[in-house]
């Protein structure tokens, strides 16, 4: 019996508005989603010239009989949706049936499909059906799309954007592979393998296929739940970062979604662990009762609305923060050969580079492409176990280390039985002071110190007005501050935690921050004050530091909540393990 129904015209109009095939990426997306809907366990995507010349998608899904294969090319045929009501209860990924005629209308297309009985071949060109024949075929579907957009003016445009197209397709297929670790995905371009997953359900292995061994070693498993949500997945050590948010990957009930609120919650958890314009790699799968979510049915969007969003954000934030707080996060200098990796990457791109020498797009592609295929020698079970290990929160996260000297008037060299450590004296002092100021303000530890000589601050009228409006913030912090004549305030006492060697400078900095802040969020305010003061008030690079001061600095650093990064997210400490040193000096054979 035929599975494809011809859609009600009312419904098809609603869909048509959002259904535009204008990029090779759209074609890949529609066809891959058809394959997933057809319950494929293996999906192979083969591109020639980023798909502009040819896209071949092969799956082992349920396939179609002859009647369905032909009907699939009539506009508005769908195997899933019959009424407008169905549109709002979508549990499949795509709008099956609508995409195929659209793709066929702008290409030369061959459909080979079999439901396990008889195979059917349909040949299409520019939307016209050239032939329908029978053939021998295993169960599944193979769609070949050649000369995409050959009959439209957009074709030329895509010749210029090959790198961007390939980067987008790669990113999409990567996400589907992460979303469906049970499905085997293969992606090739001009014969080069860009992704090849196992399809056996191991998420960490898919991460390894996409990001490589070095990243995979730095992934940590997390899992948590509350009354409504269950979250599981992997997060990266803060030292592994990407220049954009593309690697914050979230799935809801197995479906890839992009949600700014969730991304914000993840980024917030890494606050001060990574620099402000860097992002970790996070792959999270969220399970929730569908009643609590509202999927935006627009086919090109992947957004979702959650009820009880706050509890979900809190759950994610708490879990990631706690995990990060349990780990020793000293980046280790490793003598791997970056040069080799680079050459390998160039090899991968060579066929494209030779055909089309367009440089900007190449850079864009390299920036986004993580698909270097590596030999895998990882013990995945061991890795997962290691990342699940709970750590005693009372033990300092940096082992006892002993200073041996200072290099370049900036870097403190230390050692212990495990290796050599290098501490950036400014970054370390900044972290210590940041936590000190932040905690004092957060806990309102308002020990007050009187000033021997009150400090007068005269301000321009506009700033005077702004400060006057928010004066309670200053008094809440423990300042005794009052108006004192025209455009002037006098400060008679201050909170005790202010650095006593630069009180006036610190007060002026705080006043500036009060003036600059339009809307007031106390948490953000004290954060900003702490970071600004910590940076200004800490020892700098090239400042002289005595060995006694160094001992104190190291002790204080070891006792901070996060000793590994300064409040700007830069490392405070790096290490060379004894083993790495032995390797570098050829004392050990790798
Ligand atoms: Zn600084
Ligand atoms: Zn810093």
CA of 419 to the centre of ligand 1 (A): 27
Q: β-pairing, 229-236 with 248-252?
A: unpaired
CA angle 527, 530, 535 (to 5 degrees): 125
Beta strands in 226-325 (DSSP E): 229-236, 248-252, 255-257, 282-288, 293-295, 304-306
* CB atoms near residue 528 (< 10 Å): 17
CA of 567 to the centre of ligand 1 (A): 8
Tell me which ligand sits closest to the C-alpha of residue 538.
Answer: 1
* CB atoms near residue 48 (< 10 Å): 16
Tell me which ligand sits closest to the C-alpha of residue 428.
Answer: 2
Tell me which ligand sits closest to the C-alpha of residue 541.
Answer: 1
CA of 423 to the centre of ligand 1 (A): 14
Q: β-pairing, 119-125 with 108-114?
A: antiparallel
CA of 240 to the centre of ligand 2 (A): 18
The full DSSP string for 492-524 is: EEEETTS-TTSHHHHHHHHHHHHHH-SS--HHH
Name which of 204, 181, 166, 219 is nearest 370 in CA terms.
166
pLDDT at 258: 85
- Give me the percent of the chain exceeding a pLDDT of 90: 49
Alpha carbons 511 and 567: distance in angstroms, whole number: 21
Tell me which ligand sits closest to the C-alpha of residue 566.
Answer: 2
CA of 350 to the centre of ligand 1 (A): 42
Alpha carbons 220 and 585: distance in angstroms, whole number: 31
pLDDT at 562: 92
Rounded average pLDDT over 553-582: 93
Tell me which ligand sits closest to the C-alpha of residue 571.
Answer: 2
> Helix, strand or coil for residue 180?
coil
pLDDT above 60: residue 298: no
Tell me which ligand sits closest to the C-alpha of residue 572.
Answer: 2
Tell me which ligand sits closest to the C-alpha of residue 568.
Answer: 2
CA of 427 to the centre of ligand 1 (A): 6
pLDDT above 60: residue 92: no
CA of 430 to the centre of ligand 2 (A): 6
Tell me which ligand sits closest to the C-alpha of residue 536.
Answer: 1
CA of 535 to the centre of ligand 1 (A): 4
CA of 492 to the centre of ligand 1 (A): 29
CA angle 64, 133, 36 (to 5 degrees): 25
pLDDT in tens, 334-366: 766 544 444 444 444 444 434 443 344 444 444
pLDDT at 338: 45
For residue 374 the two structure tokens come to 């590596």
The full DSSP string for 356-419 is: ---HHHHHHHHHH-----------HHHHHHHHH----TTS-SS---EEEEEETTTEEEEEETTE
Find the DSSP H helices in 128-246.
Answer: 155-160, 162-179, 203-211, 213-217
CA of 239 to the centre of ligand 2 (A): 15
CA of 56 to the centre of ligand 2 (A): 50
CA of 297 to the centre of ligand 2 (A): 44
CA of 567 to the centre of ligand 2 (A): 5
Rounded average pLDDT over 48-59: 93
CA of 324 to the centre of ligand 2 (A): 19
CA of 539 to the centre of ligand 1 (A): 9
The residues, any chain, with a CB within 8 Å of residue 163's CB and separated by 6 or more, are 50, 352, 358, 361, 362, 364, 365
Which pairs count as long-range contacts for 304-313, CB under 8 Å and 24+ apart, including other chains?
304/252, 304/257, 304/259, 306/259, 306/261, 308/228, 308/229, 309/261, 311/226, 311/227, 311/228, 311/229, 312/226, 312/228, 312/229, 312/231, 312/262, 312/265, 312/286, 313/261, 313/262, 313/264, 313/265
Range of weakest confidence among 68-77, 105-114, 202-211, 548-557 = 68-77
Tell me which ligand sits closest to the C-alpha of residue 540.
Answer: 1
* CB atoms near residue 230 (< 10 Å): 13
pLDDT in tens, 472-501: 888 888 899 999 988 999 999 999 888 888
pLDDT in tens, 406-448: 999 999 999 999 999 999 999 999 999 999 999 988 887 668 8
Computed on alpha carbons and rounded to an integer, the radius of gyration of the chain in Å comes to 30
- Give me the percent of the chain exceeding a pLDDT of 70: 80
CA of 415 to the centre of ligand 2 (A): 24
CA of 521 to the centre of ligand 2 (A): 22
The residues, any chain, with a CB within 8 Å of residue 18's CB and separated by 6 or more, are 298, 299, 300
CA of 529 to the centre of ligand 2 (A): 13
- Which one-letter DSSP state was computed for residue 246? G
- The more confident residue out of 161 and 571 is 571
pLDDT at 476: 86
Tell me which ligand sits closest to the C-alpha of residue 427.
Answer: 2
- The more confident residue out of 272 and 336 is 272
φ, ψ of residue 218 to 5 degrees: the values are -105, 25
Distance of CA 406 to the CA centre of its chain: 37
Alpha carbons 565 and 238: distance in angstroms, whole number: 9
pLDDT in tens, 157-171: 555 578 888 988 999
- pLDDT confidence bin for 331, thresholds 50/70/90: confident
CA of 462 to the centre of ligand 1 (A): 30
pLDDT at 5: 52
């Amino acid at each position: 019996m035929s599975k494809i129904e011809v859609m009600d015209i009312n419904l098809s109009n609603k869909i048509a508005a959002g259904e535009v095939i204008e990029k090779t990426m759209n074609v890949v997306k529609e066809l891959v989603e058809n394959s997933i809907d057809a319950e494929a366990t293996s999906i192979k995507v083969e591109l020639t010239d980023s798909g502009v010349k040819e896209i071949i998608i092969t799956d082992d899904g349920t396939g179609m009989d002859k009647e369905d294969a032909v009907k699939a090319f009539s506009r508005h045929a769908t195997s899933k949706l019959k009424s407008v009501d169905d549109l709002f209860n979508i549990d499949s990924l795509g709008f099956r049936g609508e995409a195929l005629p659209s793709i066929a209308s702008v290409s030369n297309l061959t459909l080979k499909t079999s439901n396990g009985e008889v195979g059917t071949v349909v040949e299409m060109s520019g939307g016209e059906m050239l032939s329908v024949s029978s053939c021998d075929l295993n169960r599944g579907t193979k769609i070949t799309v050649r000369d995409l957009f050959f009959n439209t003016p957009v074709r030329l445009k895509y010749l210029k954007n090959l790198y961007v197209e390939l980067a987008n397709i790669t990113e999409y297929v990567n996400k589907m592979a992460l979303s469906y670790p049970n499905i085997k995905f293969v992606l090739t371009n001009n014969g080069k393998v860009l992704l090849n997953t196992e399809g056996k359900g191991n998420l960490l292995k898919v991460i390894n296929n996409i990001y490589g061994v070095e990243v995979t070693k730095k992934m940590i498993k997390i899992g948590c739940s509350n009354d409504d949500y269950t979250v599981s997945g992997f997060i990266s050590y803060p030292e592994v970062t990407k220049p954009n948010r593309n690697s914050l990957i979230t799935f809801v009930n197995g479906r890839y979604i992009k949600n700014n609120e969730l991304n914000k919650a993840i980024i917030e958890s890494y606050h001060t662990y990574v620099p402000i314009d860097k992002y970790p790699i996070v792959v999270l799968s969220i399970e929730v009762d569908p009643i609590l979510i509202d999927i935006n049915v627009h086919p090109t969007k992947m957004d979702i609305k959650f009820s009880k969003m706050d509890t979900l954000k809190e759950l994610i934030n708490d879990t990631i923060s706690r995990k990060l707080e349990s780990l020793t996060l000293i980046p280790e200098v490793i003598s791997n050969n970056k040069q080799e990796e680079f050459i390998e990457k160039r090899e991968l791109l060579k066929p494209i580079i030779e055909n089309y020498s367009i440089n900007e797009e190449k850079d864009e592609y390299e920036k986004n492409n993580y698909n270097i295929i590596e030999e895998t020698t990882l013990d995945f079970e061991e890795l997962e176990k290691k990342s699940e290990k709970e750590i005693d929160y009372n033990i300092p996260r940096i082992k006892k280390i002993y200073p041996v000297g200072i290099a370049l008037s900036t870097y403190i060299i230390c050692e212990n039985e495990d290796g050599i450590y290098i501490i950036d004296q400014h970054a370390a002092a900044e972290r210590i002071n940041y936590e000190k100021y932040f905690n004092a303000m957060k806990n309102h530890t308002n020990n007050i110190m009187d000033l021997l000589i009150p400090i007068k601050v005269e301000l321009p009228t506009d700033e005077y007005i702004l400060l006057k409006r928010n004066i309670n913030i200053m008094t809440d912090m423990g300042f005794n501050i009052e108006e004192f004549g025209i455009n002037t305030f006098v400060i008679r006492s201050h909170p005790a935690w202010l650095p006593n060697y630069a009180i006036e400078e610190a007060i002026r900095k705080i006043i500036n921050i009060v003036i600059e802040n339009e809307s007031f969020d106390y948490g953000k305010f004290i954060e900003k004050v702490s970071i600004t003061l910590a940076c200004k008030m800490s020892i700098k690079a090239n400042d002289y530091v005595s060995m006694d001061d160094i001992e104190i600095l190291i002790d204080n650093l070891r006792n901070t909540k996060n000793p590994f990064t300064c409040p700007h997210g830069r490392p405070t400490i790096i290490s060379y393990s004894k083993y790495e040193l032995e390797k570098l000096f050829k004392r050990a054979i790798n």
